[in-house]
Amino acid sequence: MRETGKKRGSSGLLWVIGIYLLFPLLLTFIYSLFTEWITILPKGFTLNAYLELFRDSYFWSCIGRTVLISVVPIVICTIVVLLAMYVVVVYLPKLDSIMKVICTIPYAIQGVILPISVLGLYVNAPEPFSNRVFMLVCTYCIVVLPYIYQGVRNNLNAVHAPRLLEAAQMLGAGRFYAFWNIILPNIASGVMVSAMLALSIVFGDFVIINTLAGNYFPTGQMYLYAVMKQSGQKASAVIVLLFIVTLLISLAVFGLQKDKKKER
């Protein structure tokens, strides 16, 4: 009975937190469906804002650029950090403190400081370093580094990677086989959570991409900033669609992960 009560209490608390977090988005969605809301109830139901967005090819191209510039840095950073932390945790544990300091430095240089520094250093450099998109990808790799590092490190320690590797080698598995088929599947879910957190941070960024890329690489956040000056209703519709796109990406990633677990 006590365990049932605890489960119900935990579920109720999660529902309360979920409703609290989604309530502003719900109000934004309602506002996007009406022409005016100056009294208690909104007036003038319309879908014009969504119809305009679905017909606007420039908007969808901006969304495509947002997805691209969010996914590519996270994939690159995850692969690099995963390989580096695997070596550190399994073979060179004394370097863990140094890696921790290096990977947490980006916490102190986020915001407008990082893109201005990158722009001032590489704007006159030879290609590809002076390419705005290249600078943007590398900068986002720095931004997401602490989140990816913490997720990879915690999961490698949670599965006791050195012991798991030793057990696999005792059973005749090679190091590469043990890493690819034993350690990596065991930490994949935790790494995905870190990657999704990094995705939400990059997906919602405006300062870095506006400073580095500007009109060279317009994204969804830049489109939203331009629309906010024209129509609050349309801006609300853009916010809702950006949320839906992020949600669909997360569901697709976790769905693929569940399918792989079922196959195993």
Alpha helices in the chain (DSSP H): 2-32, 48-55, 57-90, 96-104, 113-122, 132-158, 161-170, 175-178, 184-203, 207-212, 220-228, 232-263
Q: What are phi and psi of 45, to 5 degrees?
A: -60, 130
Burial 72-91 (b: 16+ CB within 10 A, else e): bbbebbbeebbebbbebbbe
Band (pLDDT 50/70/90 cuts) for residue 6 is low
Q: What pTM does this model have?
A: 0.82
CB-based burial of residue 107 (10 Å sphere; 0-12 exposed, 13-18 middle, 19+ buried)? exposed
DSSP 129: T
Under 8 Å between Cβ of 141 and 76: yes
CA pair distance 250, 247, nearest whole angstrom = 5
Tokens 């906010």 locate to 228
Band (pLDDT 50/70/90 cuts) for residue 76 is very high
**The predicted structure's pLDDT at residue 159:** 81
> pLDDT tens across 116-144, in order?
888 888 878 888 888 888 888 888 988 88
Is residue 37 pLDDT above 80, yes or no?
A: no
Residue with the larger pLDDT of the pair 180 and 224: 224
Burial 120-156 (b: 16+ CB within 10 A, else e): eebeeeeeeeeebbebbbbbbbbbbbbbbbbbbbebb
CA pair distance 9, 11, nearest whole angstrom = 5
Strand partners, 36: 43
Burial 17-34 (b: 16+ CB within 10 A, else e): eeeeeeeeeeebeebbbb
Polymer length of the chain: 264
CA pair distance 16, 36, nearest whole angstrom = 29
CB-based burial of residue 251 (10 Å sphere; 0-12 exposed, 13-18 middle, 19+ buried)? exposed
Under 8 Å between Cβ of 106 and 73: no
**The predicted structure's pLDDT at residue 246:** 85
> pLDDT tens across 168-212, in order?
878 777 777 778 888 888 888 888 888 888 888 888 888 888 888
- Of the candidates 143, 149, 159, the residue with the CA atom closest to the CA atom of residue 97: 149
Asked, as a colleague might, if the bond just before 128 is cis with ω within 30 of 0, I would say yes
CA pair distance 3, 192, nearest whole angstrom = 30
Is residue 25 pLDDT above 80, yes or no?
A: yes
